[in-house]
Amino acid sequence: MAPTRKTEIKRFMRNLDRPKMELVLLLADVEDPVNVGSIFRIADACGAKELILTGISARPPHRLLSKVSRGKERRVAWRYEPDPVPVLEELGRQGYSRFAVEITADALPYDDDSVNYAGRTCLVVGHEDHGVTRRVLATCDHAIFLPMYGKGASLNVHVALGVAAFFALHAAAADKARR
Query: Each residue of 120-131: pLDDT tens digit?
Result: 999 999 999 999
- What pTM, to 2 d.p., does this model score? 0.91
Domain extent listing, the chain: 19-137
User: Which residues lie closer than 8 Å to 37 by C-beta, 6 or more apart?
Assistant: 64, 65, 66, 67, 68, 69, 72, 73
CATH topology of domain 19-137: Alpha/beta knot (3.40.1280)
The pLDDT of residue 11 is 72
- Neighbouring CB atoms inside 10 A of 167's CB total 16
Q: Which residue ranges in the chain fall short of pLDDT 50?
A: none
Taking CB atoms within 8 Å and a gap of at least 24, the contacts of 118-121 are 118/21, 118/172, 118/175, 118/176, 119/21, 119/22, 119/95, 119/172, 120/21, 120/22, 120/24, 120/91, 120/94, 120/95, 120/96, 121/21, 121/22, 121/23, 121/24, 121/96, 121/97, 121/168, 121/172
